[in-house]
Structure formats: C-alpha cells, structure tokens
Structure 1
Amino acid sequence: MKAFKAIALAGVFGMFATAGALAEDATDPIKIITNNWTSQLVLSNVVGQVLQSKGYNIEYKSSDTQLQYTALAAGDMDFQVEVWEGSQAESFDKAVAAGALDLGAHEAVTREDWWYPSYMNEMCPGLPDWKALNACAAKLATAETGTKGRFVGPPADWGKHYSERIQALKMDFQEVPVGQAATLWAELQAAYDRKEPVVLFNWTPNFIEAKFEGQFVEFPTYEPGCFTDPKWGSNPDAIYDCGAPAKGYLKKAGSKQLGEKWPMATEILKKVNFSNPQIAAAAAMVDVDGMTPEDAAKKWIETNPDSVKAWLQ
C-alpha cells in the first residue's frame, strides 16, 4: 500500500515537473513553520512536499504562535502558511513592519471565537447573543470555576484576549485555557455525548463543523478600535469589549530573505491558495480519520492536482 501511494504521488508531481526550477534559488533549506493545530500541520506539509518535488531543501521548524513572527522578521524561519487575522494580526503586522513578507491571502475566510453546541439553544433562551449566554452562566459553572461559568479557552500562546473580554464586558465567566487543541475536542465530545452545556474556543475552517452542530456566540461587532481605544464600545474604561472578526483573513507570511534567496520558490508560495472546504478536509484526515499530518498531506496533494498545478504554473 505504501509503495502504491508513493507511485501515485510521484505521478502527481510528475505532471508538474519543469526543468531548472532551482536555477535562480539557493540550495540551503527553506524553514517552514509548524504550529500546534491540525490544519496548519497538514498544510505546512502540503507546501513542503510540493516544494520538495521541485528539488527544494525543506526543514520544518516548530514555533510558538506569536514568537514565530519575531523569527520571520529576523530571518530565523522562512514561511508560515496560516496567518489568522483573529489571533495573529497584531504580531503579523509588527513582523511586516520589521521586514517580513506578506505573501497574500487564501480564498478561505476565517472566524475564531466562543462556540457552543446547538442543543444549548433550548437551555439558554436568546442564544447566540452573548448576553443570553451570560445570563446562563450558572449552568456552565464547575467545581473549578465556582459560581462562574466555565469558558474552555485555547492554548495561551494563541494570542487571544478572552480573559480581558470577560472583564471588559463584565461577564460572569472564567476562562480555563487548554494546553493543546486536542483537549478542546475531547471536552466538546464529552459534553456532546451527554448533551451537557459547554462553551469553548472554536474556529472555521475546521473539521468540527462537519462533525458537530453548533454556533458561534455573537458578541458586539468587531472594529479595530475595540482593541486599541477604551472609549470604543460599551465599557469606556477597557479594550476588548467586542467579538473577533466574523470574516477574518487567512494569509501567508515569509521571512525577510525569502524573496532574495529563493525567488522562484517565493512565486510558488504567493500562489498557494486553500479554500474553506479544502482546509476542513485536510484537518479531518487527521482528527477524524487518524492519519499523520505527513500522510494527510500526501493524500491532499493526490486529491487536489488542479490546485497544485495552479501553484506551479
């Protein structure tokens, strides 16, 4: 079976072979960043395997979600395939100002925010409005949070400001962050099986939307001033009194030297483009089907030859 997969993948890449792809590019490794959520790991491997098919030397480098942008600006890492507006825009903008490359946006539209399973609509009338959720806080209280409702938050390095939002909106909740994305899904599955109330961090595109029925909580509509101007919004003494962007971008970022050392690879990376369904499918191969990110990337390439061809034209 493995031999068959290797032959099939070689056939896919053979369709896109061109002579002299490295003629203008350096031979030292392009350092592709990997993070701690599934779609990013799979898509990083997709890009890496495509570049390897063109003869490029690829090295995968794990990084903290925020510190990666300092590394990009400094030239210590070279490519990030998933820049999420809702959690990374501030760090990304600083990196670009310091010389990192904005390599353009994907077709995919993103959202990152509080999310709950749809059966809670009966438990908490008025959902998805955040005030209705707050009125229902007692039903989400645990031994850990006392009388406050528990919000299952993302890993701390994802750069969210949910504790600040809770304070700014004077919500009767407490954030309890997890260490990794898999813990979010374990919490959701356990609650879902018992039809118990739960509110947790979620995002789209994600495999979750195909497996569980649910909705994002609707907070005050995001505007940039919410994150910088205390006078914006309902609390004149605090920032973060709003939700996240409901239609956020998903971009790609490069190091300062990417275009100088690997100009032809940079042109490929600018063309790399994923849609919402493609990203959700990539994550599902790992989180639902149990594949490794490396094998999921191979399968993705095999099943999306037209996309790969467009990148390499």
Structure 2
Amino acid sequence: MKKTQTAILAAMTAFAPMAVLAEDSNDPIVIPIHNWSSQIVMSNVVGQLLEQQGAYVEYVTTDSQAVYESIRMGDVTLEMEVWEGAFGASFRAAMEKGGIVDVGDHNAVTREDWWYPMWTKEACPGLPDWEALNDCAEIFATPETGDKGRYLDGPVDWLKHGKERVEALGMDFTVINAGSAAALWATIGAAEADKTPIVVFNWTPNFAEAVWPGEFVEFPEWEDGCDTDPAVGPNPDALYDCGNPADGYLKKAAWEGMEEKWPAAYATLEKVSFTNPQIAEMAKLVDIDEMEPQEAAAVWLEENPDVWQGWIN
C-alpha cells in the first residue's frame, strides 16, 4: 500500500504541477461513505487526490438519503455519486431548500431497476416485458413469499419503492429488501449454480454486468412526475407505476460554502468525471478482487494517471 501511494505521488509530481492549496482552509473536507462499492472507492479516489494536493480529508459513514440534508447544512462537504433513480428526489428537495449545489454530471449514464440474469429468460420467455414477468410470478415463489413471486429489492435506505410499484401495478410479487449490495451479489451467485429464476434490484454501471449477463425489466416508461403525481403513469390512483429512468444522470454535489472555503479543492471537484467503465472497474476491485476500498482507490489512481492528471492542474 505504501509503495502504491508513493507511486501516485511520483506520478503527480512528474506529470502535473503540484497544486498547492495554500488558499484553502485547514479544516477537514468531509466526504461521506455509503453502502455500495463504487461510491466508497470513488470517494477514496477523490479524497486521496485532495490529500496529495495538501488538503485534510475526513470520511464519515452517512445514510445515502439523509446525506443531502447533511451537505446542505455544511456537516458534509460533498457527494460523489448522486444517482437520479435512487437519490434524485432527496437531492432535489435539498436543492429547493438551499445550501447545496450541483457540481456537474459524470460522463456516465445510469439505470437502476428490476433485473434478471439471462437464464431466467429461458424460464419466462416473455421477458423483459413486466406483464410477462407478472404472468410468470409463480416461478419466483419461495417459502418466504408463499404463492407470490419474490422480488429482492435493494437495502431499505435506498428507497427504491419496489412495494409501491407492486401495489400500483397489481403485481403478484412480494418485495423483500436485501441487507446490502453484497447480499444481492450473493443471491445472484447462488442462483447461478442451478439456474434458478430470480429477479433482483440491479444497476449500471457496476461490475455485475460483466459477470452475469442479464436484462432490466421493461416497465411503463418513466415520465416526470411518476413519483409525485398519481395522474402520471398507467394507474391514475397511484405513484411509482413507471419504471425508473433508463438513461439517468450521475451527479456530484457539494455544500454551497465549499467553493469559498476550499476554492482549489472545489476546482478539482468540478473537473472530476468518471465513465461507466471506470466506475465498474472501481466496484470490481472491491467486489471481485476483494481489495479494501482505500487500497482499491490507490490502485485505480496508479493505473489511471492519464484520467486524473488534468483534474489537479
């Protein structure tokens, strides 16, 4: 680990003028850590870059929905992964109150929704249509769900509204929340052995698409207001009767006081932008290669100097 960090520092010195953050506050830049691998590694990548530039960085474990209020109040400095589908509502609510700023999008397209591995399609050939999925509900039944199909949703704090969608669309499914992202991967891995049909929450970018080919379920197309106005979507009496955005954003956010207090660090944050493959690689380093997030961040920096050198000039 020490050798890797030394290599990063050498690369920064050799290829880019060292950014001296003399004008920045000595107070810590507080970076939140959530419960999925790409966010943790990405946060450490940016934190390590800022530290190499002279900033003092602290990491805090923070709820992935409540973090936007924390940023707005200045208790947390920035957020590296604002997923439109999962956190867009919380982000917009904080923006309306003031105190938080949009620092721009990553060069990535996101999608978060119900998903199945391709072997499931063999058992339910009408997929990816959601109505065909519902017609096949019994093949997803488990002792826990009785005669209804099981849909394994993300952790409760991700607020994916699976239960609301099932109710709004009259689906014969019971929604079970996974305790963590790792539990989702473990479920897919266990089902792979005998090709058990499953439907789970998944998202892109992450490493899983390279390990388990699969497809997202196609629900009624997302329309603005589907999560706030019952009149939007096929069920006029319910919210969440649409799929999630198929081409969602991935944003960065910061406390509105960051630019004045840490101007050089804020300038770096503005330049930071990751692509789908880069984000998937970060997750792979932890979820497949079993590195600790700090080590994964250092390895990613060492292997990708051409990506980040321009961010620190």
TM-score (norm 2): 0.97
Gaps of 5+ in 2: none
Instruction: State the match for 1:126 in structure 2.
Output: 126
Instruction: State the match for 2:25 in structure 1.
Output: 26
Structure 1 residue identity aligned to 2:228: T
Q: Provide closer, same or farther for how the CA distance between residues 85 and 3 of structure 1 changes in structure 2, counting only shifts above 3 A.
A: closer
Render the CA deviation track for 1:198-235: whole Å, top value 9, x for unaligned: 10000000000110111100001001121122122221
Counterpart CA distance in 1 for 2:133 and 2:276 is 28
8 Å contact from structure 1 (residues 17, 54) kept in 2: no
Instruction: State the match for 2:236 in structure 1.
Output: 236
Instruction: State the match for 1:146 in structure 2.
Output: 146
Instruction: State the match for 2:70 in structure 1.
Output: 71
8 Å contact from structure 2 (residues 12, 18) kept in 1: no
- How far is 1:3 from its partner? 4.7
RMSD of equivalent CA atoms = 1.2
Instruction: State the match for 1:306 in structure 2.
Output: 306
SS in 1 for 2:91: helix
Q: Provide closer, same or farther for how the CA distance between residues 160 and 3 of structure 1 changes in structure 2, counting only shifts above 3 A.
A: closer
Render the CA deviation track for 1:247-284: whole Å, top value 9, x for unaligned: 00000010132112101110100110000000001110
1:165-184 to 2 correspondences below 5 Å: 165-184=165-184
- How far is 1:65 from its partner? 0.8
Instruction: State the match for 1:85 in structure 2.
Output: 84
SS in 2 for 1:15: helix
1:99-118 to 2 correspondences below 5 Å: 99-118=99-118
- How far is 1:10 from its partner? 2.3
Instruction: State the match for 2:193 in structure 1.
Output: 193
Q: Provide closer, same or farther for how the CA distance between residues 212 and 309 of structure 1 changes in structure 2, counting only shifts above 3 A.
A: same
- How far is 1:119 from its partner? 1.2
Instruction: State the match for 1:62 in structure 2.
Output: 61
8 Å contact from structure 1 (residues 16, 312) kept in 2: no
Counterpart CA distance in 1 for 2:164 and 2:217 is 16
Instruction: State the match for 1:48 in structure 2.
Output: 47
SS in 1 for 2:175: strand
8 Å contact from structure 2 (residues 28, 56) kept in 1: yes
SS in 2 for 1:254: strand
Structure 1 residue identity aligned to 2:65: Q
Structure 2 residue identity aligned to 1:188: I
8 Å contact from structure 1 (residues 74, 256) kept in 2: no
- How far is 1:39 from its partner? 0.3
TM-score (norm 1): 0.97
Structure 1 residue identity aligned to 2:262: W
Instruction: State the match for 2:11 in structure 1.
Output: 12
Structure 1 residue identity aligned to 2:243: G
Counterpart CA distance in 1 for 2:139 and 2:237 is 29
Counterpart CA distance in 1 for 2:300 and 2:87 is 26
Q: What percent identity do the matched residue pairs reach?
A: 52
